[in-house]
Amino acid sequence: MTGKRVLVIEDDASIRRGLVDALAFSGYEVLQAADGIEGSKEALRATYDLLLLDLILPGSGGFQILEAVRDERPTLPIIILTARGEEGERVRGLRLGADDYVVKPFSIRELLARIEAVLRRSPERPHLIDTIQLPEGVANLARCEVRFDDGERADLSEREVELLRYFASNAGRAVSRDEILRRIWRLDPRHFETRTIDVHIGNLRTKLRDDPGNPRVLVTVRGRGYMFAQPKAGSTESVRAAT
């Protein structure tokens, strides 16, 4: 089992069924949508690791979905499905932020290889960030500690380090409780209570000296989850929170 979840948005029932069966057989958990309207909703609210997106859809078109997902999840891996010979669509899709494309009709083996390749190079993996600049100090994730400018320090648990690293890696994007439960706890949110996330966020805010009434680091996004307040600057591994 790969442990990865793929969202398939494809209006052709036979192609969609073939994709779902092939992905499931290869160990992926699969979500699916049959048109642009349903696909757009799933793409923006569901928790998944890769989007497999047909560009020509009834309802909301594939390009609209691609742009909306890129705005919400800038680093999510996306592979577009295009018709043979339609170079303009492929170019436009890549310029809008797709990671790769597969031309119809396609080989399932090739598609699976492309999915594996895109997932391997996905920038969502949060292991690169070890130091985070905070309003009142610095979090050293390698040492599992926060050192404040006044000389005080706070120890971070391994779970708190994972949480903070994941938030910083996805800075500027609202991260849902379901996504946190899947990514950090490796649990299916359909079978577990997500209230534990709020408790851990509260404890982490305390250790970061992040006022829950007016947070500057971990901001609550109503109805959507939590967000690390300041986007990453350039390609550095240090992320500065809003001051």
Examine the domain organization and report whether 20 and 47 are in the same domain: yes
Examine the domain organization and report whether 114 and 137 are in the same domain: no
pLDDT tens for residues 39-84?
A: 999 998 887 889 999 988 988 889 999 998 987 777 789 999 988 6
What pLDDT sits at residue 77? Answer: 92
What pLDDT sits at residue 2? Answer: 62
Domain boundary pick from 90, 120, 150: 120
Domain boundary pick from 86, 120, 154: 120
Asked, for residue 126, whether it belongs to a domain, the answer is: no
Cβ proximity of 62 and 74 under 8 Å: no
Q: Give 243's pLDDT tier (boundaries 50, 70, 90).
A: very low
d(CA 148, CA 132): 12
Examine the domain organization and report whether 158 and 54 are in the same domain: no
Q: How many helices and strands in the chain, by DSSP H and E?
A: 8, 12
pLDDT for 7 beyond 70 = yes
pLDDT for 31 beyond 90 = yes
What pLDDT sits at residue 20? Answer: 95
The count of domains in the chain is 2
Q: Which domain holds residue 217?
A: 131-240
Query: Would the pTM of this model clear 0.75, i.e. be above it?
Result: no
DSSP 132-190: EEETTEEEETTTTEEEETTS-EEE--HHHHHHHHHHHHTTTS-B-HHHHHHHTS---GG
pLDDT for 234 beyond 50 = no
